[in-house]
Amino acid sequence: MSLDNLEEALTQLHTVADFSRFGASLFNQAELFYGHGSDNAFSEALTLIMYALSLPDELDETVMNCRLLTNEKQQILGLFEQRITEQLPVPYITNLAYFAKLPFYVDERVLVPRSPIGELIENKFSPYINSEKPPKRILDLCTGSGCIAIACASYFPEADVDALDLSVDALNVAQLNIENHGLSEQVIPIQSDVFSGVKGQKYDLIVTNPPYVDQQDIDSLPAEFTHEPEMGLGCGSDGLDIVRVILAESAEHLNDDGLLICEVGNSQIHVEALYPEVDFSWLSFERGGHGVFLLTKTQLVKHRTLFKAALKS
């Protein structure tokens, strides 16, 4: 079957399982890209079905045999068609994404949360942070939807968290998520060009998922990524325009035992080429992911001259 015979689907398909299989087949035939919270067609089809039915994704398997009303079928097929014709990531259709096991509102003003940093937060950054000395002040740089800041606040309820972004649109989404999670007293959104909005402020932990996609990757991104704000993805020919600033200035904003954790994804190769003298700690993840490094304040101070010099390169 294809989009050309959706009317046939209304009469021949009846259950949630039927539509899950049909949707997955449609998505595979359309050669869609999966990278915004799911890695397969069946999962995306089921998410859209549950959204149409106003049901949570995590339900007993018996729901798969439930029969659907005609208007429910029509809603589901409409979502399938939107996913295929617009190549819109599913979280932009449902306005919902999960990060560190927490729900977040998302739309096209922000990237869809998918950073492996979520796994670090769930583990409270163990073993890199002593559980007996949790961070009291945390900075989320390039916060986007606010997911990292809000997750940090949720897993470290005694910490104050600043959430920085240059984009007012992104900060508006972050503010909505902060309010939805009841964290307005703990997480503060701040408009800032990297550190410009927090001059003189120091933190125990800086966590950042900045724009880092190099131009070559930007030019070859699947269509789904073109719906995301480009300023949240690309950042110069090697993807490191903002990372250079972060490395050069983070030491000034960290307390003595402070840590910087920064995601650079595929641009890890550019980081290692640009700073061969620096002993980056590249972190590993049980659920997959790569290109996240850790540096201590001591290391940042040690290589400050090198980092400052790279700003001019």
For 38-95, the pLDDT digits (tens) are 889 999 999 999 999 999 877 778 899 999 999 999 999 999 999 999 999 999 999 9
Tens digit of each residue's pLDDT (9 = 90 or more) over 4-46: 667 788 889 999 999 999 999 999 999 999 988 888 999 999 9
- Separation between Cα atoms, residue 170 and residue 108, nearest integer Å: 9
Look at residue 238 and give its three-state secondary structure.
coil
Ramachandran sector of residue 101 (left: φ over 0; alpha: ψ -120 to 50; beta: rest): left
- Whole-structure pTM value: 0.93
Indicate the pLDDT class of residue 1, thresholds 50, 70 and 90: very low
CATH homologous superfamily of domain 100-310? Answer: Vaccinia Virus protein VP39 (3.40.50.150)
More confident residue, 76 or 217: 76
191-208 b/e (C-beta count within 10 Å ≥ 16 → b): ebebbeebeeeebbbbbb
Domain parsing of the chain, residue ranges: 3-94, 100-310
Task: Check whether 298 has a pLDDT greater than 90.
Answer: yes
pLDDT digits (tens, 9 = 90+) for 9-20: 888 999 999 999
In which residue are the tokens 């029509």 written? 74
